[in-house]
Structure formats: structure tokens, C-alpha cells
Amino acid sequence: MTAARLPGWSFFRRFGLSRLWAGAALAGLLVVLLAMPPGGWFDIDRPTMTGILLVAIFTYAWHPVGGVLGDLSIAHLVCWAGGGYACILAVNGGWSTPTSLAVAVPVGAVIAGVVVAFASLARLEGLYLMGFGLVLVFLASALVGQWAWLGGEQGLTATVLPLSPDDVYYLAVAFLVALIALNIVLLTSRRGLVWLALRDDPDRVSSTGWSPRTERAIAYTLSGALCGLGGALFALNVGFVSSTSALTLSLIIVPLLAIYVGGPGTIWGPLLGVALFEGLSTIATGNSKSADTAETVALAQYLVALVIVVLTMKSKRGRRGTRKTSVPERAAREMAATAAPAVAKIATPGGGKPDPLRVDGAAKSFGGLRVIEEVSFEVQPGEIVGLVGPNGAGKSTLCNIIGGSIRPDSGQVHLGRTDVTFWAEHRRACLGLGRTFQVPRVFASLSLQENLEVSHTRVSETAAASALMALGVNQPERNSDTASLLERRMVEIGRLTTAPPRWALLDEPLAGLTADEHDVILEQVRRLAAAGACVLVVEHLIPAIAPVVDRIVVLNDGRFVADGPPGEVLRDPVVVEAYLGQPIDLAQAAG
Amino acid sequence: MTYALVSGIAASGFYMLISIGFMLQLRVADIVNFAHGCVVVAGMYLAIVFVNDSGMPYGLGVPLVVVAGLIPAWLIYEFLLRPARNQGHRMQIVVTILLLSILELIFAKAFGTDFKSIDITPQAWEIAGVNLRRETVLAFFIAVTICTTLFVVFRYTTFGKSVEVAGKYPEGARSVGLPVDRLYRIVFLTGTAMTLLAGALVVASDPATPFLGFEFVIIAVLITVAARLSFTGCAAASLLYGVGYAVLAKIFDSPEKGTIGIYLVFIVIIAAGPAISALSRHIPQRRQAAVPAPGAS
């Protein structure tokens, strides 16, 4: 994890910076800001600069949620205003300045925590979450206007100004630098990858062993706490806070545009965006002092921003920055070549033999349609079981019941000795269940190797890169939206081989691939089983999997109709009538 | 109270036009258009130009506003919004907020930042014992007529069904030969026309300023989200917004408390929507569980 994300410009992309370089750039920024003379530069004096820094602070404080997670949570304005009000109340109550600032942190965190808990309970996302945030801001604004203890519509004024404008400036510089440093650490950490992945496919994140709900709660609470502190600084800057100053929607528009024009989920993108939207206009209007010029400059900057956004849209690689892997390609190739076998022996608690995967009497209906009826079977460690059946037989539903994305109406699922029937998907993944999907679900915001690193088991950059190259995927540092179908399938397989699961579930892994490509995938399936995993392969292409599997179970209309060695099952008259049409000659299939 | 009820109902006609316009663009063309509010402002300014500057009668100016406003709207759709369709809602929100900011500044440069009113002689009509401006009452009836007509067209005609299919299953619609892109364009322009009309009607009672666009679009978003993209839901939520605010303000004898009350109602509606949907998915299963499966002993 040594890289920083940069705005989506190919020039920078090729020269991805390490965490060290990002730190050096940040130190440079700190020096420049501290060196600003009281009179300022380009007609920007320190109080004006403080205003720009406060916008940058809001932008970076909101970025973990608004940019990385991609939730356009307007409700963070309430955290910002809450921090401001809490700070002024504390100052007026005679509390010291550090304490008054500190009290804003839990206020912001609690507001954000309540918002995310409510959104989670009510299952609000996307535009609905945004709509909820909008109403919350309006409601907060109206309530604050009614409450005399918060100053009503007039707002709350500090009885004393505890900080001079210079003090606020230095505090704002320190806070902004700390926020950018936090973003560097976040975006170069595994947690940062998970949050980026959540933006693409929250359900898929569950199957990598992370809880989307918990991660979202952490992101909101962190961002809310930072917004609270930012709001406190904002209030101390002018010694005043009101609903019209701290709860106005225009406050969040610049951060929103700055993040999405600069590059969401990047380290420097928000700063570039703030420079474009706030810095340039301040310089231009400061130089002219004319309202007409201010409008013209604002118009020009919005047009430039629109051009940037349109160009980004036109670019096929709309990716918000990537990194250059720290693993030299040749070194990774060498490692891949010597990595035999590709799949490590499965580790089990206590070092014993892994336990079987067991389904007991699982049943599932959707409305009036019974999809699965009283299905029971086992997959032993080291065994490969093929699950076949016609369309609509219930194969994928059964797969999802085992995976945890669907709960059965009755029956149990056991992973080893643990009954996981009511476990969430991510808990099953943590226990050792790995799976692939019918349509490969690759996180578009991450590079190919980052897709492997995002697993809850600690997969290093080196291991991820070499695993992908061993699977024939070149340039694993590429954006995943450039990958072919085979490469996307290999990323899914790579997730299993780098962190070998005790129970592996593969849903139609051969779909859409050529016969040669089937062999590549099936070889990895064999290796998983050889490492001791219980492997269940759902597939339509019976001749392709028959030579590889130990048993075939046939599902028809939600019921098992056969279970046994491939040679027997594929000649079974019931199976032939229900599904195959004619017996399959295994010797021919293998040939 | 009667005044609050009647004036609330009259105001809801405006909300219906802007929210149904916004909803159609989102539901069918899958475009979240935050510049929608600026279309209302454009309608207001165009009406002022036609009536005040060109001396046109208001009744003739209103349809001309729609015709004149659709030309730039079509260009913006073709060159900016259509390419943004496949970029997801987040990017659409960014693009259209930028567009809204640009349009606001263009309006400010063209018309100044002061309030501008339309030059028409105010006339009052008495409805249920309440005196209302003639244009406000007409605006309500025009809005209801247009929304009802569109509802019938979208619900019961082949064209409406084609639009519904194109919105829900674009690939399938293309495969059966439906001109999906043309349908999206038609729906987008229909939504825009409704919104231009709303602007031309509301300017008869409210003055225009360049920076009203954001306020209008926020109302449209709230109503659309609360209605969960339903045509009749938008009409009902518009009525609730207009009447609810007026009645609550009257009950509490305070416009601010009316605002708090109506936002609380909308928070409950927005939050309850997904929970109700989730519940309704479970109910049929439970009912089904009581029914023996075919062939079960």
C-alpha cells in the first residue's frame, strides 16, 4: 500500500506518487501556507485565505463520504453547523478554546452517526439518501430559527473572540494539512480500498468479508466528526454562527463540485477543485473589486469546470486516478513462475482437516413460486461437486443461500460445524467462504490487483500482482474497467487463490469463455480442491466440468433428482429425461 | 382555515408541474436534472420579456415561452445531458449543478439581480369565499389539466406504454424496434415544457430573480423522492406540500412552524417508503407459506 491516487489525468497517472512523495508534497504545501505574509499574496490577505482554507477543510472533511464512498450526503451540513453552534455555546459558557473546539467533534460524530443509522434502518441510498439529507438540512435550519437558546434567526454570537484572525489562520492551515494527511493514509490503506469498492458494489464487498454497514458507519462518523471540528473553526473565525451562515446549501455546493471536478477518491483532486472554484475567483474578484467582474470570473470558472467534466465523461477511462504498482513487473513474473502450487494449503483452526459444507433441507419461495424445495447435500474437503440443472432449476438461488445473500425460508446451512443460516454474507466470508459470481463483479474504481487486495485477509500488493500474473493477467496495476471477460473472471478466481477459502462456491465460472479458457479456470478449481477446499461448481457446461468433478448433483424444479459420480449421473434416465435429452459419453467429453 | 386550504391547493398546481417534469426526466430518461429549477426561472424571464418588452398579451406569451424555451433545452440535452446519461446519477448531479450555476449567472448578467415582475393588471376571483388572483387559479387548472392528460397518455396509450418500456428495459425496447433515444428526447422535452409553463404561470404572482432555480429544484427533488417516482404520487405529494404547509402554518399561526411541520411529514414519508416496500415484499411470501405447495402431501 504505497501509492497515492491522483486526479484522472493520464500524465499524472503514469507517474503515480508513493505515500512518501505525497507526504513531501504536503510538507511543501504546509511550508508555503505558513510562509504567507500577513498582507498576503495576489490581493488575498490572511482572513480571505482563511475563508478559502475553510472551504478546503469542509471539502476534505466531507470527502470520505462524498468522494470515497460516493454518498452525496447533504446531511453533513448539519454536522458542520452543529459543530459551530456547540463551539460558540462552549465559548460563551466560559470554556477554554481547545475544549470549545474539541466539543464540536463528538457533536458532529453523533449527528452523522444518527444520520447513517437512520439511513441504514430505512434503507435509504442514492437519490433517496440525498433527498433525506435535504429535508434534514431544511428542518434543522427551521428548528434552529425557532430556538431562542441557539439565538433564533439572528444566530449565536460569541461573547468574546478567543482567537485572533492570525490564530484562526494557523489553526486552519494545521487542520487542512492534517485532513490531507488523513486522506493520504486512508486512500493508501486497505480500508480506503474497501470504501472505494463500496461505491461500486456494496453487495460484492460483503462477499470479501467486510460489512458494508459497519464501514459506512465508520466513514460517516469520521467525516461527521471532522465536519464538526471544521464548523467550530468556521464559527470561531467570525465569532458567530446562524442557520443562514452554516446551514445554507451553497456551503456544500463548492465541496461537491471541487471533489467531482478534481477527482473523487483522490488525494489532490479536492484541493485542485477548491483552487479552481474558490481560489481563482477570489484572486480575480480581489484584483478588480467589481461585481460584474466577479460574475464573469465565476461564469468562466464554471464553464472551465464543465469542460473538464465533459472531457472526463468522454474519456473511456473515467477512473478517478490509479497508482503505479510498487512491484516491478519482472519481479512479479519471476515470483509467479516459481509459485508452485499456486494455492497454499488451507489453514484450519487447530490445524485439522477442514470440515464439510452442508445444506440441510433448504427451501425458498419467491411470492407464489417455490424455487428450492427441501434440498440437502454435503461437499467434503478436497472434493469438487458440480451442481447442474436446466434454467430455473434453482441453482443460483441455492448458491446465494449458501453465500448468504438470500435467506432460506426453512432449512440450515452449515460451514463445518457452524450453523451460518442467519449469518450475514461478510461473516461467512470471514469464516472462510469464498465465491465467484455468474457475471464477474469487479470493482471498477480499483485496479485489477487492488481488487484482490481488498479481501479481509491481508493480501499484499506483491501477492496480488503475482497471483494475477500467474493467472495470465498482465499489467495488474491496470484499471479494472480495461479488463476482458477472461481477465475479469481471473480476478474473481485470483481472489480465491490468493486467500484460499475453506469452502469455495463458483457460480458458472466458464460462462462466455472459450474451450482453452475453460482449461485455465478448471486447473485453478483443481488446485483449490487439492489445497483442501470444499468446492461447489454451478455450471451448465456439463461436458467441460464432468472430467474435473468428483460428483455431480442435478437439480430440477428446485429438487435434487440425482447425486453421484459423473459417469453414473450422466447416464441416469431421470437426468437424461429432465435435463440432458441424451446421455453424455464421458470419454468423448474428456477428449 | 378555508383560505389556507384554497390557497394551498392553488399553489400545488405549480409544484405538480415542476415535480412531474423532474420525475419524468428521471424515471424515463434516467437523468437527474438539477438545472430543472433554472428552467422555471427561464420561463419566468421569457414571459417577462414577451409581455413587458414586446407588449404581447399574457395569454399569447405563455405558449410562446414554451416554444422559445424548448430550443435551447433541446441543444443542452443533445450536447450535455445525453452524454451524461450513462455516467451515473452522481456525475449527472455535478453536470447539472454546474449548468444551473452557469444559467444563474447568465440570467444575472442579462436581467440583473433585482426582482422583476410581469406587467399585468391583477384581477381577483372568488373561490369558496376566498379571493385569489385570477392567474393563480388559472395556473392550477392548467396544471391539473396537463398532468391529467399526461397521466392518461402515459398510462393508457401505446405511446405511453412504449415510453414506460423504454425507461425500464432499454435493451429489450431496442430489440423490439422501439426508438428508445427518440422517446427519451420526447420525454425530456415534455418535462422541460411543463417546467417552462410553470415558470410562465408563476411569474404572474411571484417576481423573478436569477437565483431561484436551486430552491425550485429542491422542491421538485423532495416531492419526487417522497413520491418514489410515481406519477400519481407526485401529484399527491405536490398537493400535500402545498396544502400541508398552508394548513400547518395556519394551525401554528407561524410560517416557520408550518415549514418544520411539513418537513417532518416529508422525512417520515421518505424514510417510510423503502421500509414499506421491504415489508410488502415479505407479505406475499408469508401468505404463500400458509398455502400448501402443488403436489405436497
CB-side neighbour CA atoms (13 Å) of A205: 25
- Asked whether A402 and A412 are in contact (CB, 8 A), the reply is no
Decide: helix, strand or coil at residue A386: strand
Whole-number Å distance between alpha carbons of A169 and A77 = 22
Same domain, A463 and A383: yes
In a domain, residue B296? The reply is no
For residue A512, the tally of other CB atoms under 10 A from its CB is 13
Are the Cβ atoms of A409 and B285 closer than 8 angstroms?
yes
In a domain, residue A211? The reply is yes
Q: Which domain holds residue B38?
A: 2-289
Of B84, B101, B270, Cβ closest to residue A131:
B270
In a domain, residue A466? The reply is yes
Same domain, A400 and A468: yes
In a domain, residue A14? The reply is yes
Same domain, A302 and A350: no
Are the Cβ atoms of A302 and B98 closer than 8 angstroms?
yes
Of B98, B106, B266, Cβ closest to residue A305:
B98
Mean pLDDT of B169-178: 85
Decide: helix, strand or coil at residue A570: coil
Q: State the CATH number of the domain containing residue B279.
A: 1.10.3470
- In the stretch 92-151 of chain B, residues with CB closer than 8 A to chain A read 93-95, 97-99, 101-102, 105-106, 108-109
> What are the pLDDT digits (tens) for B99-126?
998 999 999 989 988 899 988 887 888 7
Helices and strands, number each (H, E), in chain B:
12, 2
In a domain, residue A55? The reply is yes
- Asked whether A493 and A342 are in contact (CB, 8 A), the reply is no
Whole-number Å distance between alpha carbons of A514 and A57 = 52
Same domain, A70 and A136: yes
In a domain, residue B295? The reply is no
What does the block give as the cell for A388?
Answer: 447442474
Per-residue pLDDT band at B8 (split at 50, 70, 90) = confident
Mean pLDDT by 10 residues, chain A (591 residues): 37 48 79 75 76 93 92 92 94 91 95 92 82 86 87 87 87 93 87 90 86 94 96 91 86 87 86 84 68 78 84 58 41 44 54 77 84 89 90 86 90 90 90 88 86 82 85 83 84 84 89 82 88 89 86 87 85 78 64 51
In a domain, residue A336? The reply is no
Q: State the CATH number of the domain containing residue A234.
A: 1.10.3470
In a domain, residue B238? The reply is yes
Whole-number Å distance between alpha carbons of A469 and B55 = 74
Same domain, A488 and A525: yes
| Orientation of helix B180-202 relative to helix B2-27, angle to 10° | 160
CA nearest to A136, candidates A249, A213, A250: A249
In a domain, residue A515? The reply is yes
Residue of chain B whose Cα is closest to the Cα of A137: B263
Question: In chain A, which residues have their Cβ closer than 8 Å to the Cβ of B285?
Answer: 365-367, 409
In a domain, residue B227? The reply is yes
> What are the pLDDT digits (tens) for B180-234?
889 999 999 999 999 999 999 999 888 999 989 888 998 898 899 888 888 888 9
Residue A160 distance to chain B (closest CA, Å): 30
B267 touching A (Cβ < 8 Å):
yes
Are the Cβ atoms of B263 and A305 closer than 8 angstroms?
no
Q: Which domain holds residue A441?
A: 343-590
Same domain, A257 and A295: yes
- In the stretch 411-470 of chain A, residues with CB closer than 8 A to chain B read none
In a domain, residue B120? The reply is yes
Q: State the CATH number of the domain containing residue A456.
A: 3.40.50.300
CA nearest to A456, candidates A205, A183, A213, A184: A205
In a domain, residue A434? The reply is yes
Same domain, A96 and A231: yes
Chain A interface test: which of B22, B89, B105, B287 (most A C-beta within 10 Å): B105
Whole-number Å distance between alpha carbons of A296 and A52 = 19
- In the stretch 219-258 of chain B, residues with CB closer than 8 A to chain A read 221-222, 224-226, 256-257
B212 touching A (Cβ < 8 Å):
no
Same domain, A554 and A469: yes
E strand or H helix that includes residue A535: strand A534-538
User: Taking the CA atoms of chain B, what radius of gyration do you get in angstroms?
Assistant: 21
> What are the two backbone dihedrals, phi and then psi, of residue A475, each rounded to the nearest 5 degrees?
45, 65
Same domain, A377 and A287: no
pLDDT at position A324: 39
In a domain, residue B55? The reply is yes
A328 touching B (Cβ < 8 Å):
no
Question: Could you please report the per-residue DSSP string of A459-518?
Answer: --HHHHHHHHHHTT---TTSBGGG--HHHHHHHHHHHHHHS--SEEEEESTTTT--HHHH
> What are the pLDDT digits (tens) for B35-68?
999 999 999 999 999 999 888 898 899 999 999 9
In a domain, residue B297? The reply is no
**Number of domains forming the structure of chain A:** 2
Decide: helix, strand or coil at residue A223: helix
Question: In chain A, which residues have their Cβ closer than 8 Å to the Cβ of B257?
Answer: 146
E-strand ranges in A316-471 read 357-366, 369-379, 384-388, 410-415, 418-419, 433-436
For residue A531, the tally of other CB atoms under 10 A from its CB is 24
Q: Say if strands A534-538 and A503-507 run parallel, antiparallel, or are unpaired.
A: parallel
**Number of domains forming the structure of chain B:** 1
Same domain, A247 and A288: yes
Beta carbons within 8 Å of B270's beta carbon, 6+ residues apart: A122, A124, A128, A131, A132, A135, B222, B225, B226
Encoded amino acid at B21, one letter: G
Q: A363 - beta bridge partners?
A: A410
Same domain, A165 and A117: yes
Are the Cβ atoms of B83 and A313 closer than 8 angstroms?
yes
Whole-number Å distance between alpha carbons of B103 and B84 = 18
B32 touching A (Cβ < 8 Å):
yes
- Write the DSSP symbol of residue B85: G
A105 touching B (Cβ < 8 Å):
no
Predicted TM-score of the model (pTM) = 0.81
Question: In chain B, which residues have their Cβ closer than 8 Å to the Cβ of A134?
Answer: 218, 221-222
Angle at A310 between CA A309 and CA A315, to 5 degrees: 95
Of A260, A368, A409, Cβ closest to residue B91:
A260
In a domain, residue B259? The reply is yes
Same domain, A289 and A367: no
With b meaning 16 or more CB within 10 Å and e meaning fewer, what string describes B74-88? Answer: eebbeebbbebbeee
CA nearest to B62, candidates B122, B124, B143, B7: B143
Residue A561 distance to chain B (closest CA, Å): 16
